[in-house]
Amino acid sequence: MIVVFTGGTGGTKLVQGLQHIVPPEELTVIVNTGDDIEWWGLHVSPDVDSVLYGLAGLLSKERGWGVEDDSFRCLERMKQLGQASWFSLGDLDLATHLTRTMLLRAGKRLSEATAELAAKFGIRARVLPMSDDRVSTMLDTAKGTLTFQEYFVRERHQVEARAVRFEGAENARPAPGVIESIETAEAIVFAPSNPVTSIGPILAVPGVRQALRETKATVAAVSPIIGGEAVSGPAGVLMTMMGWPSTIAGVAKAYEDFLDVLVADRADEAQALTMSTTGLRVLSTNTIMRSIDDKRELAAFVLGACTAQQNVVG
């Protein structure tokens, strides 16, 4: 089993690459739910949906979130009706949130609702939200405490962030299958997602970090930072806020207690060469994923690095 940790839009691209080279029944994707938001009374799970749409071939290529060729007529009408409209839900996307919300109201857990949605979209890989319990990423900013979507979408991450916390994480339990998949994985891959707000919430769920430290599987991460800057979004500034450098060394720092292999971009090859220690191998390749070939090649490179690491170890 190949297990991927992901959140955000960059992460989904690597999941799509892995989908092309790993049989679906051998792929488990563990997804951040700290970004979840209740919007117009509906439970929206943006990172889960990016993975579902990505695996189902429905993801908007232009936006990297939501459904390809969606319309926004409901949003327009909500605006006219004076409702909040800074978070754009497409008309087809709405059907996903309506279904999820109906399933949750009928008593299903988030992991069950996700599995049902995945099956309806024809997805055979396993998509697991990190927890069935509510965990909310909250940022203390110059404009007060904001939810992740308020910070990221409403404020376009232009407001200064001072601290992050994952509300509810202390009492959250990993969703069924999360710990087991870490324990039994052949390889574990951290997608090039923001280590602070996309992966941080997953690692904050009690038991997850410990399972990663103890697993026999090789743990690899693809850096979301290239040449000292995030490929997209606020990863760089949020890493600096955490006291980690906004470099590939900062990514290694975020995962230092369990990481075996760090895959960096060729732009960071010189730093990569200086970083390998007995505990960590740092490799470089092209990590920008524009085409499906880029995604597939990076996925193959990462899995190859995991296999090579196993050979080195034993």
Q: Is 9 in the site for ligand FO1 (CB under 6 A)?
A: yes
Residues binding ligand FO1: what is the number (CB under 6 A)?
17
Nearer to ligand FO1, 47 or 132 (CB): 47
What SS3 string covers the chain?
A: CEEEEECHHHHHHHHHHHHHHCCHHHEEEEECCCCCEEECCEEECHHHHHHHHHHHCCECCCCCCCECCCCCHHHHHHHHCCCCCCCCCCHHHHHHHHHHHHHHHCCCCHHHHHHHHHHHCCCCCEEEECECCCCEEEEEECCEEEEHHHHHHHCCCCCCEEEEEEECHHHCCECCCHHHHHHHCCEEEECCCCCCCCCHHHHHCCCHHHHHHHCCCEEEEECCEECCEECCCCHHHHHHHHCCCCCHHHHHHHCCCCCCEEEEEHHHHHHHHHHCCCCCEEEEECCCCCCHHHHHHHHHHHHHHHHHHHHHHC
Nearer to ligand FO1, 66 or 236 (CB): 66
Binding ligand FO1 (rule: CB under 6 A), the pick from 92, 104, 153, 288 is 153
Encoded one letter per residue, x for contact with ligand FO1 by CB under 6 A and - for no contact, window 54-93 reads -----------xx--------------------xxx---x
Stretch that binds ligand FO1, among 39-47, 107-115, 248-256, 277-285 (CB under 6 A): 39-47
Nearer to ligand FO1, 7 or 17 (CB): 7
Q: Is 152 in the site for ligand FO1 (CB under 6 A)?
A: yes
Nearest-CB residue for ligand FO1: 8
Binding ligand FO1 (rule: CB under 6 A), the pick from 4, 5, 31, 35 is 35
CB of 37 to ligand FO1, least distance (A): 8
Residue ranges that bind ligand FO1, judged by CB under 6 A: 8-9, 35, 44, 46-47, 49-50, 65-66, 87-89, 93, 149, 152-153
